[in-house]
Structure 1
Amino acid sequence: MIDTNSPKSSDHLFPHSAVGALMRTNDWSTSSLGPPEGWPAALRAIVSLLLNSRFPMFVAWGPELAFLYNDPYADILGEKHPAALGRRFRDIWGEIWADISPLIDAALAGEASFHQDLPLLMNRKGFDEQTWFTFSYSPVFDDDGQVAGMFCTCTETTEAVLLRRREEEERERLARMFEQAPGFITILKGPEHEFEFVNATYRRLFGDRDYVGKTVRETFPELEGQQFFSLLEQVFRTGQRFVADGVPIRIESPNREPAQERLLDFIYEPLIDSNGQVTGIFVEGHDVTAHHAAVDALRESEARLRALTDNLPGGSVYQMSGNADGSNRHFTYLSQSHERMSGLSVEQVMADPTLPYQMIVGEDRERFALASVEAIRNCSRFEIEVRFRHANGEVRWAHLRSEPRSQPDGTVVWDGIQVDITDQKRAEETLRELNDTLEQRVAERTAELERAHEQLRQSQKMEAMGALTGGVAHDFNNLLSPIIGSLDLLQRRQVGGQREQRLIDGALQSAERARILVQRLLAFARRQPLQPRPVEIGELVAGMANLIASTSGPQIKVKVEIGDALPPAIADANQVEMAVLNLCVNARDAMPDGGLLRLSVSDRGTNGPRPTGLAPGRYLTLSVSDTGVGMDPATRERAIEPFYSTKGVGRGTGLGLSMVHGLAVQLGGTLTIESEPGLGTNVEVWLPTTSDLGDQEPMRADAAPAPRTGGRALLVDDEEVVRISTADMLTELGFSVVEAASASEALPLLLRGGEIDLLVTDHLMPGMTGAELARTAKANNPALKILLVSGYAEAGGIGPDLVRLEKPFRQEELAAKLAELDDLGVAS
């Protein structure tokens, strides 16, 4: 056995002088010296092979394993060449000696050895680079048959190793991409369609079964007769993809829950190898059940709205379209109620759009034409009262009003309503005649009665509009709930590419704007779901100062004045914040050239002057004043009317002041406006105070806390689309969800005991309300967590101990309420 650790005798360990000359030759392969005659035959043969080979080789000889190599191996040595010639193997490759010494020992013991893809850091071009090599070591025998050295051939495998790594990384990347895809994905191989890969979405949709290695027929026997097996065989046989939209499928649940009826969009894409043979099928698709349900719900909503407009008493709804200059105007919609109002059928008017104009009494046509030209030229609201001749010959009065909407193609759409006001006009005429014939005292009394009548009529109109608004807003909340929930889900899952994400983000922003509009409608109608509690109004306004200053702009100075020792007010902090922002935006818009915006909170006490109709008690006033353009008396009188705005088309909904007024009244206070043209405006919100400090609005964290998820949740809602959206959110938050369409369906599950950890229920449902269901469930299981969901303000029977969530909502809002339930559970 050769001793590889013996001391070296000289710089070059081959002693023969001819060897030294050979090693000092710049090009061994062309050296005329060749191996010396005194060397062993095996060594001479190997050296001859080494010197004439184009492949990297070396021989290590003698007790010190002296190194001799050819030109190709010099490239591997890099800057170690030519000093490595004749030196000890261990001195040359000390950095990898620990890795290769077992192979060397095996070769010196007479056994060939092999090392594949050994990593080696080499400096071949002036900098270090990571390389890999495959070595084979063979023993070399002397003339006596003893191992006197070893022979090595080596191959650089750097490119092959890097290629394998890139392929592995690509496979891992594709697997991660497929696993995180929003759609369901699986890869089937072979003619038997054996599962090779199944992503998480596939498992969520079809159940967590034993997929990989099993065939489709083994995994889904319930699909027999639903044509899916024959479609797979057709794609594998023909090599042609198959695309399907909205295909119904019945899936048996592996945990023996009721079978599901779903609608799927999917693609069967054949996988073809380099020889053109089909080796498998790539399956990708989406569960579109909720989408189809939403489309159906939208159609149903449109049908309800059409039925509502077609049955309007004493009026009709219409829509006209035309060019911006007024040409080519024609009706695009006219409700059936128009026939009752005018005597002309919808078909007649659609065929000849000039018929309504021809029905106007001659003296009023000129006013109508001038008002139309003015509205078209300014693209502004059109509103007028005219007389028209009914098809039966009777002259009647109509109030016409329409709003323009400019379209991307340059046309303008006019949405309008016309109301028969004949009875009102006749009453006004009768009243004028009466006023002309009565003496002055009677005239004054009559005027007073007329004012009272007008106030009553306005009050009734506002109340009726409020009731209608509240009902419509409730329906819109139910419609917006699945829309916002679905868009929120698509956004969080990053569905599609950048373009799709922009579209989803835009749709979500529009839905959020719709939600805010509904909240304003509910506030105007005094039906928004409030959660009043003691709130430090002064601290709330002070905390908003920076936000208000940044949104007001540099030209407007913001000054905040908070009184001392202010009592808390009974209010909903979120709604008060929204009211303050609305008032500040109005003030900013009233000061186009800059000015002073002053916010103040003061204690008005229990005595002193106060607005008419305010109940006795102690009040705070929240005042927002500006030094802007101010309002004339006519504008001030109409300021809190819904949809009335002086900002122009597209710059406001006209609901801001109406919302603030509705909020104040709903909280037991009121709103007052003082304004003069050129002197500015001061709006005061009066709010009742309280001495109770134990239930103040808590400070909100920057981000909603995460709920302690898990367990079994019972979801109760009579609106299926809302139920589906909420169930998806609860599932993503870690709950196993059981759904019920009514309280009667939910009660048996709740009364069993121990099966339900969380109850999420709508409030307004046919039969038993959500609050009644919650009380029954709580009596049976005091530890049950209950979340009440409502899109309306009818809070009858809802106790203060119930945590409420308003529709519509996103998943993060649902999570925040569940976290609040968790906190209540810990506190109790």
Structure 2
Amino acid sequence: MFEGDGEVRALLRRLDWSASPLGHPSAWPVPLTTAVSMVLSSAFPMFVAWGPDLGFLYNDAYAVIMAAKHPDALGGRFQQIWTEIWPDIAPIIDRALSNRSAYFEDLPLTVVRRGYPEQCFFTFSYSPLHNSDGQVGGMYCTVIETTGRVMAERRAAFELKVSDALRPLTSPEDVVTRASALLGEQLNLARVVFGECDAIRGTFLVPRDWTSPSFPSLAGMEFVLDDFGLDITTPMRAGKVVLSNDSSTDPRTARFINLYGMTGIRSFLAVPLVKAGRLVAFLGLHRAAPYNWTGADVRLARDMAERTWSAVEAARAQAELRAERDRSRYIFDTIGEGFMLMDRNWNVTYMNAEGLRIAHLESAQIIGRSHWEIWPEAIDTDCARMYHRVMESGEAGMSEYCQSYPVGDDIWVEVRAYPAGEGGIASFFRDITERKVADEKLRMADQRKDEFLAMLAHELRNPLAPISAAAELLRIGRLDEEQVRHSSAIIGRQVAHITGLVDDLLDVSRVTRGLVALARAPVTVQTIVADAIEQVRPLMQLRRQHLAVHLPLEEVTVIGDKARLVQVVANLLNNAAKFTPDERHIEIRAEVDDGELVMAVRDEGIGMESEFSPHAFDLFAQAQRSSDRSLGGLGLGLALVKHLVELHGGAARCSSPGPGKGSTFMVRLPVMHAQPVALERQPEAQSPVGDRLKLLIVDDNVDAAEALGMLLECCGHEVMVEHDSRRALERALRERPDACLLDIGLPDMDGNELARQLRSHPETAGVTLIAVTGYGQERDRQRSVRAGFDHHLVKPIVMEQLAGLLAGLRASPDFDKAAGG
């Protein structure tokens, strides 16, 4: 079990098991041995916790998450290893040990794994492990740390929030106040100060600051800079960011502990602003307790300082311009935007350093020359027309302009123009290329969405037509029995088709949002390909296509969810069959390459342009590829392939020589090198017993409830129908049905609350509750389970599934006991 490569395996081979609650591996039960082998062979972070003390074992990937806790945690007790987060995860563990799996996405946990607390985020699932007698003996977890992504998303959202908040402010004081508050709330600080330095006197003033509730303010106070320690202030004067995790123990600040204590600064981070070699200001972040500042904190503080100073200086510049337009032009060299002055004859009289950088020109190439001589390509543009309107009307204007360069990429510039003295124009401009690129990506995504919605409308209209016709025939009522059966069959087939479309949409939604929990187990490529071919065979036979299969002679095993991997290969084969003409050839080939399973599906189909290949796996991409809708479908198959393969730690790509020359889709998955664990054969399900049941149907849709009731009566059951929750509760208490089929979206009292009410009464506490609803997301299923439902069926109901479920009720020993009681 511990043989093979990897640090954890090597450590386990040498581990002294005498102190571990797990005992020596030779005495482990088979289920524990199997689970540990699975974990050690997984490329994803996983751990197993077993026994009353939850002895803890994990793999190499999880060791990275453990950080300094590894390797001492191997074989230890779960609670002792993760003491700091035990109050948060104990209820989840209890759920798993109660034989109920749990899944959480981006759960925040404050862990101590490097000697200090840090907030991290994890997406994970806890699942029960059963011992040999079928009881829960422990649990296992598959986890991915998402801290980096979550923090990046939060920072991006915060930066957007800051930009939106500062943009309308014209007062430097308002800019500093708002920026300080945003930063303090974002990082949960005690204080944020914007210190203004006097280099001659060696002091700094705090005009205003932001503080958390009950923390003292330093607003209006002046301090001698070097009183905080030369080891701190000297680097600041050199323009370096300075931080201290604990001022009471930091040797640079310990001698000045009285001043730090008086100001309440236990840990701090300072970002200086140096101009012309002098420290003119700094942004200070203060905490009342020791804190380990991270690289992300430093980057955010530096970015916030630059944004604040840029906004402050822009506000000051514009205020100066409004008050005295020709005074102190040098100030514009300090702002983070381009600035240009033109006289009434369009001659450029001034441009700051940032403007020259954006224009890729020197001052001598611009000053004194006409704007239209410098940029003749801009004469017939919206920006030129905006300039003319400002010059003529005296009212401010704004435009966007694409600037081309002889060498290098084009850039987009946002231009804001204001009337200046003596009929001229003052122009502020900044590079917005990144924003324009992002806008274009959003536009393309929106276009693909619109094309997809048009395709979806087409796919939904097709089955609605025969359904409408069949329903009209049934309404007329002049049909014999054979015609009624034929009309019903038409409706059934088309409803099944629509249900398939909806299921595809929900499936791709769950997969792309990471809501799918993979049932990982060893599975061979031979099994995957065989099952996938079986699914696609009818379509290939219909089109008389020739399928060539090339598989390794020896079994190749991967760790994954068999159903999802079969779905991957079936989607690729189905895609090949759809876009390959009749009687042509399709090939699937699997082989092992450098420790990875490589599966390739090659067709002789319509192919694609080379520029489309990188987007073949994008959502909504099929509409770009072909307008032929003869085979239907929503074009979601390849998007599912990509996301499912990535969930398995693999990659998917495609290539094509060109239109009409076919395509090749390739999937790579990590191979399981250890011997696959033999899976126990599950006992076959008992045959359902078809005894008569007393059923209560509750649905405010009268037609739906009556139709379902008639179908169940035809199956031999005694059926009661109610459309109101409270009357349904009264009738259930009086009639004591065997099972209740409840709609979730009921008015007044919804289905979940009705289920809780039924469970709370002794007369109906043991009744089987079945949710019959249009809500089919995983969170909806979890909500119904919490409310007390035993089963969750999504409308439209597959009658065979419901009939089998009801038949199984009589086969259950618990049911006989309840009926006898």
**TM-score, normalization: structure 1?**
0.36
